[in-house]
Structures are given as C-alpha cells and as structure tokens.
Structure 1
Amino acid sequence: MKISIGNDHAGPEYKFAIIEALKQLHIEVTNHGTDTESSVDYPDFIHPVAKDIEEGKADLGIIICGSGNGAAITANKHQKIRAALCWNREITVLARLHNDANILSIPARFTAIPQAVEMVKAFVETKFEGGRHQNRIDKMPCM
C-alpha cells in the first residue's frame, strides 16, 4: 500500500508520528507536507496528495491542517477525491465503510497525536462496505 501525506504548519509533529506508524505497518509514504511550523498556505501541500490519488501514485491520502476543514475542502475540489474530515476512530471507520473515503483529513488543533495515529490505522485497515453505499458514491460526482 502507498499513502500520500500533506500538511500545513499545524501538522508537522502529527505527520512525523503518522509516518513512523505507517512505516511500522510496512506502508510506503510520500511526504508532500511542510516539515516546519512556519506559516504556509495549505493548498500548496494538499493538491499534490489529491493528484497522487487521482494519478494512481497512492492508494490513500492523509492531510492535516489546524481545523481539517481547509484541507478537506481543497482536496474535495478534485473529481476522484472523497476526503473525510474525521476527529475520532469511529467516524474514520464510517468514512471508509460507507463513503469509501480515499483521503483522511485530520484537524491537528482538535485531536491529540496518539488519537490521530489511531485514526490513521483504522483508515488503512477498514475496507469499503459497498452494497447500497456504492449507489450513493456513484451519485457524488458533478457532471
């Protein structure tokens, strides 16, 4: 499995902890995020993650910003992306099971690092349920 990760200045510590956890699961990671807490514009680090998924360079994505909202909104501008803003394990599992989310958006200012790592593990381990949910997924893109 390949994961693409991107973050703004609110997320370097989260990103480093997540990358370490993913490496322990033998998951390849592409890092598009900033490594410092100097202020940056999150779209510059989120669009490359979405493009990796659209182009098949990554299976899933993880994006991190202060609220998680700006990152999710940016990623969801891409037609093949279903970015889910999640703040606990249960919502993360449902985002994969029911929505086939392919990007997890983490709000760094509203989650703790251990909680974020737990969410990431749930995200990569949970598979889409399909069935009645697939009909809804098929109706999501704008034509």
Structure 2
Amino acid sequence: MRVHLGSDHAGLDLKAHLVSWLTEHGYEPVDHGPHVYDAVDDYPVFCLRAAEGVREDRDGGLDSLGVVIGGSGNGEQIAANKVEGIRCALAWSEETASLAREHNDAQVVSVGGRMHPLEDMTRFVEVFLSTPFSGDERHLRRIGQVGDYERTRELPPLPESAQQSAQQSDA
C-alpha cells in the first residue's frame, strides 16, 4: 500500500520516523515534504499535496492512504479535507484512528506531533492503516450524504422526527 505523507515543521521529526517505519513494515511511503526544518513553513503546501496524492492514486485504482502531521493536527486535517473526495480524520487515540477507517472510511489521518509520544502516534497510524472500512449501510448512507453535499451544496433532507420537532417549536 502506498502512504502519502505531508507535514509542517512541527511534524517533521514524526514524518521522518514514519517514512522509515512504513518502509520497514512493507508500505510504500511518498514524502510530500517538507524535507528540511523551516520554523515558518506553511502546512497547506505539503498536506494538500499528500491528500491530492491519495486521491489521484485511488482514482487510478491504487490502494493508497495518507498521513498529515502538524503540531496539533487540526490545521493539517482542515487542509486535507479541502481536497475533493478526501475524508481526513484527526486521531488522538487508537480508538479514534480505528473509527476513522471503520465508520468514516477516511483515506487520510491527521496526528499532532506535539500532542503525544512518538510511540503513541506511530501506533495511531498503524491502527489507521490496518483497519478496514466496515461497509455498514448506515456508514455508507452518511458518507453518501456528505459526498452529495460536497458535489451539490444541497443539504440532505431532515428526517421526519426533526421536521415535526421544528414545526412544534414554531407554533
């Protein structure tokens, strides 16, 4: 499996560690940078390229996921989620890393390089990469609603129970 990586200066050390770890564990890392420390670099430059790489691979039928890394992981997640068709989840535990794949079919995970010890973050990435999407109907439906909104900008219809509740509060 190909794994695209992008970070900022705060994620540089973890990214370098992950490139080695991924190679040792049979993955094909693609490092979108940065490759040198720059305290004022901009994470979108690198994280958008990592997410685009995942999208391009998957559009071409390749098995590919991504990892974006920053100080908190928040900005990197936001950037990756701007790539059409990409779902990026912020992982701060093994459970959130697993659920990102199992329930949300996320293709990219974001981790905060200043938030956890190296061993924990490596484990979050390992869990993310090894967890399959469940394919449950409810998760497919929800992912479909998000995808439809992304394409059309039309909100999904409210469920009947929410419509009734709204009508009662208007009365």
More helix by share: 2
Counterpart-to-counterpart distance in 1, 2:19 and 2:75: 22
**What SS class does the counterpart of residue 68 from structure 2 fall into?**
strand
- Residue ranges of structure 2 left out of the alignment (5+ in a row): 153-171
Q: What pairs with 1:1-143 in structure 2 (closer than 5 Å)? A: 1-39=1-39, 40-56=41-57, 59-131=64-136, 132-141=138-147, 142=150, 143=152
In the superposition, the TM-score normalised over structure 1's length comes to 0.95
What is the Cα-based RMSD across aligned positions, in Å? 1.2
Q: Which has the larger radius of gyration?
A: 2
The percent of aligned pairs where both chains have the same amino acid is: 37
Counterpart-to-counterpart distance in 1, 2:89 and 2:45: 19
Counterpart-to-counterpart distance in 1, 2:19 and 2:121: 11
List 4+ stretches of structure 1 deviating above 4 A.
none
Aligned residues: 143
Which deviates more, 88-97 or 34-43? 34-43
- Residue ranges of structure 1 left out of the alignment (5+ in a row): none
Once the two structures are TM-superposed, the CA of residue 34 in structure 1 deviates from its matched residue by 1.2
Which deviates more, 55-64 or 72-81? 55-64
Q: Which amino acid aligns with 2:47?
A: I
Once the two structures are TM-superposed, the CA of residue 87 in structure 1 deviates from its matched residue by 1.0
Structure showing greater relative contact order (alpha-carbon pairs closer than 8 Å, 6 or more residues apart): 1
